[in-house]
Amino acid sequence: MSATPVETEAMRRALSLAHRGPRGANPQVGAVILSPDGDVLAEGWHRGAGTAHAEVDALAKLPAGAARGATAVVTLEPCDHTGRTGPCSEALLAAGVARVVYAVDDPGDASSGGAERLRAAGVEVIAGLLADEGGHLLTSWLDAQRLGRPHVTVKWAQSLDGRAAADDGTSQWITGTAAREDVHRRRADADVIVAGIGTILADDPALTARTPGGDLHDRQPVPLILGSRDIPETAAVRRHPRPFLHRRGHDLPALLAELHGLGFHRVFVEGGPTVAGAFLRAGLADEILAYVAPMLLGGRHAAIGDIGITTIRDARRLQTVSVDMLGDDLLIVARPAPTADPTKGN
């Protein structure tokens, strides 16, 4: 069995619908119900935790019996578990749907199995239609499912000799316009942006994501400030369009577990050598962005702080993902190299 051209177009529509839903603890999912003749009967998408799943949202727009013999085109495998809502597999069976086409397999131990349930009941099931597009839509959610916590990117800007600031503490601007625009684009793709209180006190960053023209991006990350000192009442972060979080502890795994529970998928660690070093030392950096400017600063302000390395044999090995020129600056994207010892961190 293979998907038809009509079903492929319906999947493209379902992917578009999925973007209307919020990114959170539950995935963004879209659904289109097709008649046996290929006409669109109904559309739906998931609007957030506790609301109807995309398939059920679409079916609810039809009169009783209207979906009998129909095809459901869904961006994610229909779930097969009861949470805040019932199993989508059972809802599709109860509606009399004869065929289900979906893009991405559900990776959850509890929620997967919908395709198997449907096939066992005699429903035709086609998996993997536009799987690449579906996977791209769900990248951040799938990463969070795989890791059991948010995906963490650690970013810093440095001179060619590895310094984040001159000896007097000045650091604006190490990199040029193109590099800063790239950072703001990546901020807009994150759910949370993390900075240390030292950076807040020294540089007073707004922690917003801005366009090249200076306007705010439509999506803004939630600012998270780490450190025991108080945030000044006049700090720019207090004027951020999203309410900021302030955490005074040092338990990074517990912090990420909290953020995961709040439905955050992507954490962008930006503010300060101490905070960057803490995430690296804990083995909690899934992606590293190093923006390197062709300048020399010397002095004592290293781009990252202590990561627990005292001898060269303990160096944290990385895999280079990409190297790009951004104006005069260089962006190196890397990730932790696999370790043969599963008991060791990254």
Q: Please give the pLDDT value at position 166.
A: 82
How would residue 228 be classed by pLDDT, with cut points 50, 70 and 90? Answer: very high
Assign domain 5-139 one CATH number from 3.50.50.60, 3.40.140.10, 3.90.1150.10, 3.40.50.11030. Answer: 3.40.140.10
Q: Please give the pLDDT value at position 112.
A: 74
Task: Classify the C-alpha dihedral 236-239-240-242 as positive or negative.
Answer: positive
Q: Please give the pLDDT value at position 339.
A: 66
Q: Please give the pLDDT value at position 149.
A: 94
- Mean pLDDT throughout 239-251? 94
Who has greater pLDDT, 249 or 94? 94
What mean pLDDT value characterizes the chain? Answer: 91
Active site residues: 55
Q: Give ranges for CATH 3.40.430.10 in the chain.
A: 148-336
Counting every residue written for the chain, the total comes to: 346
In the structure encoding, which two tokens stand for residue 84, read together? Answer: 């805040």
Q: Please give the pLDDT value at position 11.
A: 97
Q: Give ranges for CATH 3.40.140.10 in the chain.
A: 5-139
Tell me if 57 sits within 8 A of 74, measured CB to CB. Answer: no
Q: Please give the pLDDT value at position 174.
A: 85
Who has greater pLDDT, 283 or 346? 283
CA distance 274 to 302: 10
Q: Please give the pLDDT value at position 342.
A: 42
Task: Quote the percentage of the chain above a pLDDT of 70.
Answer: 96
CA 287 centroid distance within chain = 12
Q: What is the value of pTM for the model shown?
A: 0.79
CA distance 202 to 237: 13
Q: For 278-309, write each residue's pLDDT tens digit.
A: 999 999 999 999 999 999 988 888 988 888 88
Q: Please give the pLDDT value at position 109.
A: 64
Q: For 53-92, write each residue's pLDDT tens digit.
A: 999 999 999 999 999 999 999 999 998 877 666 789 999 9
Q: What is the DSSP letter of 96?
A: T
- Mean pLDDT throughout 31-54? 94
- Mean pLDDT throughout 308-321? 90
Q: For 175-223, write each residue's pLDDT tens digit.
A: 999 999 999 999 999 999 999 998 899 889 999 999 999 999 998 999 9
Q: What are the start-end ranges of the E strands in the chain?
A: 30-34, 40-45, 71-76, 99-104, 124-127, 151-159, 192-196, 222-226, 245-247, 266-271, 287-293, 318-326, 329-336
Say whether domain 148-336 belongs to CATH 2.60.120.200. no
pLDDT at 338 over 50: yes
Give the residue from 92, 88, 134, 93 showing the smallest Cα distance to 111. Answer: 88
Q: For 86-143, write each residue's pLDDT tens digit.
A: 789 999 999 999 999 999 998 876 667 899 999 999 999 999 999 999 999 998 888 8
pLDDT at 233 over 80: yes
CA distance 56 to 88: 7
CA distance 331 to 277: 19
